Amino acid sequence: PRRLREKLRTAARMAGPPAHTAPGSRQQVQGGERRAQPATGAPLDRETRAPFRFDYERFRRSLRHPVRGRRTGEDPETRARRMKIKEMMKFAWDNYKQYALGKNELRPLTKNGHIGNMFGGLRGATVVDALDTLYIMELEEEFQEAKKWVENSFDLNVNGEASLFEVNIRYIGGLLAAYYLTGEEVFKSKALELGEKLLPAFNTPTGIPRGVINLGRQDTRSLFSPCSGMSWSWGWASAGSSILAEFGTLHLEFLHLSELSGNPVFAEKASTSQLGLCRVEKPQGLYPNFLSPVTGNWVQHHVSIGGLGDSFYEYLIKSWLMSDKRDSEAKKMYDSALEAIEKHLVQKSAGGLTYIAEWRGGVLDHKMGHLACFSGGMIALGAEDAGEERKQHYMDLAAEITNTCHESYARSDTKLGPEAFRFDAGTEAMATRLSERYYILRPEVVESYMYMWRLTHDPKYRQWGWEVVKALEKHCRVEAGFSGIRDVYTTTPTHDNMQQSFFLAETLKYLYLLFCEDDVLSLDDWVFNTEAHPLPVNHTNFKA
């Protein structure tokens, strides 16, 4: 289709000339649908083309604001609050380092590490997720510790099944951000090496990737890792489908992989995946959460701006912003998706709270997940470019949704919000099921506070953020780190014994930024990926 070709041309323009051949050819995906193509845009002409080198200095000069701000004229209370959040980060890091360095997460009650099965044998999720937060908070010694671990112990030569989405947002996002902030080559080379390992997931008839990828070395002759480079759909996803929030959350990182390597293959894969959705007919303009990577058709009509859908919408508007407002296809997709969401999903409760319901084949489920609370910030971020007559409307909608999410915190005994809250049978913004009462240190509510603060400077957002800091200290801080809790509606909650890596990547970073001047990771220069890793806006096409 014409639009796809145009988009690929834009992506290639942003990505620069092809420079090297990535591995990933000749692997067969499960089901033997087709042979993979060599993972490169065009053959390398080694004789005539100089090796690609990303011009880091030029990129730094293109930034409009000092990355860590100017620190001028702030009031002592704001500074003290920011320092408190910095202390929390140091505490979270120090305990992870002491008890779990090299594992994926810290178990703060049992004082050991957790590996889990999301990252296909990769280790150190907390290290990579924490790098940029440590850097921004000027925790220099701790940043050096994390960097040393990446240099000496971060092993990419692993063989296991990983979530494409999680590896992308946490590892690739974390490494890219660390590179852009510091210029240290090790972060760039690890990001590129890992990115290449993800490419076979895209070898499907539609180019829409599957959710699970084996990260083993792609050597077809090996008897020891016969599944290397193969990809699968999640066993729990309907009929072998791929998930909207997973295949729709690659674009930002993959564009930067192309930017840094000079190889357009990453941008092409992610663009095909995002743009494939343009063509598919959407029920009432809404994007269902499950799609077959084989046929390109929706598999089930469940629509949610929370889990399974969330960051797909986020990446549409952020693709537009990261392209310095050139990626008009992504912007159009975002505008029409938001219009459909507002028309069919946005509701007002009897008590006057605005919320975004879920949609199951035309029937509304009056529930909002904690994950959906990022949408206040997203809608505010997109409002600026919505046109004069829509701008205030979207700012109001963003403020209302953020207020509802704040209510879900304010109505609990701990002042932390539940995993999901409902608006039915007389309930407003509270969990009704036992299984939805937990809080696992998630960031989405403070993420929206941070954006709302930056875009309105209404002091209530700082006040709300400070309430969260106090609640985290009171209910989640334990002797050896921070832990999620099982029930936000009791003041003596039990702990889940898990310090999630996104607590360091996102929750503490957004809280810290809430109490920083706007220059620190300015929204003019940076776009946060869905794990809060800052990726630069492409102001000047800053390749070599």
The catalytic residue among 105, 129, 246, 310 is 310
The catalytic residue among 129, 166, 246, 268 is 166
Residue nearest to ligand DMJ (CB): 530
What SS3 class is residue 39? strand
The catalytic residue among 314, 407, 444, 487 is 444
Give 180 or 374: the residue with its C-beta nearer to ligand DMJ.
Answer: 374
Evaluate whether 309 touches 351 at the Cβ level (below 8 Å). no
Rule CB under 6 A: which residues touch ligand DMJ? 311, 371, 442-443, 502, 506, 530-531
How far apart are the C-alpha atoms of 436 and 420, rounded to whole Å?
5
Of 146, 131, 133, 140, whose CA–CA distance to 511 is shortest?
133
Cα-to-chain-centroid distance, residue 288? 19
How far apart are the C-alpha atoms of 44 and 52, rounded to whole Å?
11
Parallel, antiparallel or unpaired: strands 161-163 and 112-114: unpaired
Tokens of 342: 């507002």
Give 107 or 170: the residue with its C-beta nearer to ligand DMJ.
Answer: 170
Of 134, 154, 151, whose CA–CA distance to 186 is shortest?
151
Give 293 or 443: the residue with its C-beta nearer to ligand DMJ.
Answer: 443
Neighbours of 270 (CB within 10 A): 28
How far apart are the C-alpha atoms of 93 and 89, rounded to whole Å?
6
Range 214-246 burial, b when 16+ CB lie within 10 A, else e: bbbbbeeeeeebebbbbbbbeeebbebbbbbbb
419 is catalytic: yes
Instruction: Give all strands of the β-sheet with 212-214 in edge-to-edge order.
Output: 161-163, 212-214, 231-232
Question: What interhelical angle do 173-182 and 185-198 show, nearest 10?
Answer: 150
Q: How far is the CB of 274 from ligand DMJ (least distance, A)?
A: 16
Range 356-385 burial, b when 16+ CB lie within 10 A, else e: bbbbeeeeeeebbbbbbbbbbbbbbbbbeb
310 is catalytic: yes
278 burial level (CB within 10 Å; 0-12, 13-18, 19+)? middle
Q: How far is the CB of 502 from ligand DMJ (least distance, A)?
A: 4
Tokens of 200: 């076979």
Q: How far is the CB of 374 from ligand DMJ (least distance, A)?
A: 7
Evaluate whether 179 touches 147 at the Cβ level (below 8 Å). no
Give 233 or 530: the residue with its C-beta nearer to ligand DMJ.
Answer: 530
Of 441, 499, 437, whose CA–CA distance to 109 is shortest?
499
Of 331, 232, 287, 286, whose CA–CA distance to 28 is shortest?
232
What SS3 class is residue 373? helix
Q: Is 490 annotated as a binding residue?
A: no
> Is the CA virtual torsion 15, 20, 25, 30 positive or negative?
negative
Give 439 or 515: the residue with its C-beta nearer to ligand DMJ.
Answer: 439
444 is catalytic: yes
- Give residues with Cβ within 8 angstroms of 44, minimum separation 6: 18, 19, 20, 21
Residue at 493: amino acid letter: P
- Give residues with Cβ within 8 angstroms of 63, minimum separation 6: 525, 536
69: left (phi over 0), alpha (psi -120 to 50) or beta: left
Q: How far is the CB of 425 from ligand DMJ (least distance, A)?
A: 27
How far apart are the C-alpha atoms of 373 and 403, rounded to whole Å?
10
Give 192 or 245: the residue with its C-beta nearer to ligand DMJ.
Answer: 245
- Which residues are the active-site residues? 166, 310, 419, 444
Q: Residues marked as binding for Ca(2+)?
A: 530
